[in-house]
């Protein structure tokens, strides 16, 4: 049964066929044999063409492997985003790099209630800004708002309008889209019958998107491991200790003068 996943580049196939014709014609001539590799002949269509497919396939595989090892060449693979993510992160890990995961935005918020009482806000309670941007007070543990620490908001007549607590919100995901402007949140998961409104009192800051494939590739070209960095024991030590100043305590080289034979003594390990 044919393997439909095998793809052979027509250019590679033609070049392989031309090479085999030239090579075998020359080698056979050296032995006094006149080759007849004309198109349509058995030797050309059965022998040359069959071997050419194998050569072209191996050539394509070699090119794919080369492209999967280089920040500069990975775009030649023509991969979909998800597959490209995996390939680029694998290349990055080989040169002691990681994709930047971005940063989550944070900012101050006032939570208003109609009654002064202790409030428990479960850790997974979501607050929605403009419908699709989700924020939490603390996604890791429940939050308790003490009635004794709640402040009073007055209306224009001097009457109590609400009781409120000041908290800090953190965005559900990384990205600058979550650097929201001051204003009211549109909805929230239910947690108290006395809850009135959540209001961002200042511009949220700190949001930074996850590093894109293009950004990772460019940073890899500029900051990744190069041949010069591993050309000597001194270069290796300098690179690793600068890269991980808080993690590596000592580096020793062992073996038959092989610079890649390293012993790294990390703190805590």
Tens digit of each residue's pLDDT (9 = 90 or more) over 113-143 = 999 999 999 999 999 998 789 999 988 899 9
pLDDT at position 171 is 96
Per-residue CA distances from 148 to 112, 119, 129, 169, 261 (Å): 14, 11, 28, 21, 63
Run of H or E including 242? helix 233-243
Least Cα distance to 170 among 204, 202, 208 occurs for: 204
3-state secondary structure of 94: helix
Structure tokens at 209: 């998107």
Contacts of residue 205, Cβ cutoff 8 Å, sequence gap at least 6 = 105, 106, 107, 179
Per-residue pLDDT at 24 exceeds 90: no
Per-residue pLDDT at 53 exceeds 50: yes
Per-residue pLDDT at 213 exceeds 50: yes
Read off the pTM. 0.56
Contacts of residue 215, Cβ cutoff 8 Å, sequence gap at least 6 = 100
Tokens 């073996």, residue located: 255
Please answer whether residues 188 and 128 qualify as being in contact, where contact means their C-beta atoms are separated by less than 8 angstroms: yes
Per-residue pLDDT at 78 exceeds 80: no
Per-residue pLDDT at 229 exceeds 60: no
What are the DSSP calls for 212-228, one per residue?
Answer: PHHHHHHHHHHHS--GG
Share of the chain above pLDDT 70, in %: 75
Q: Stretch 242-261: mean pLDDT, rounded?
A: 62
Q: Stretch 186-209: mean pLDDT, rounded?
A: 95
């Amino acid at each position: 049964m044919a393997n439909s996943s095998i793809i052979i580049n027509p250019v590679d196939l033609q070049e392989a066929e031309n090479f085999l014709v030239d090579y075998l014609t020359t080698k056979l001539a050296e032995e006094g044999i006149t080759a007849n590799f004309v198109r349509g002949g058995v030797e050309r269509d059965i022998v040359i063409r069959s071997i050419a497919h194998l050569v072209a396939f191996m050539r394509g595989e070699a090119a794919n492997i080369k492209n999967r090892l280089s920040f500069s060449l990975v775009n030649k693979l023509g991969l979909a985003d998800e597959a490209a993510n995996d390939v680029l992160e694998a290349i990055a890990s080989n040169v002691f790099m990681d994709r930047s995961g971005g940063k989550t935005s944070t900012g101050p918020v006032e939570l208003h209630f109609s009654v002064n009482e202790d409030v428990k806000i479960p850790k997974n309670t979501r607050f929605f800004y403009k419908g699709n941007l989700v924020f939490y007070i603390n996604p890791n543990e429940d939050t308790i708002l003490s009635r004794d620490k709640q402040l009073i908001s007055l209306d224009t007549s001097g009457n109590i309008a609400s009781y409120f607590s000041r908290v800090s919100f953190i965005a559900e995901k990384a990205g600058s889209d979550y650097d929201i402007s001051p204003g009211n949140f549109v909805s929230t998961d239910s947690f108290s019958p006395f809850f009135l409104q959540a209001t961002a009192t200042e511009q949220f800051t700190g949001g930074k998107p996850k590093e894109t494939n293009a950004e990772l590739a460019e940073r890899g070209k500029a900051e990744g491991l190069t041949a010069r960095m591993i050309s000597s024991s001194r270069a290796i030590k300098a690179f690793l200790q600068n890269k991980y100043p808080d993690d590596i305590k000592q580096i020793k080289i062992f073996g038959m003068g092989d610079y890649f034979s390293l012993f790294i003594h990390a703190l805590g390990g």
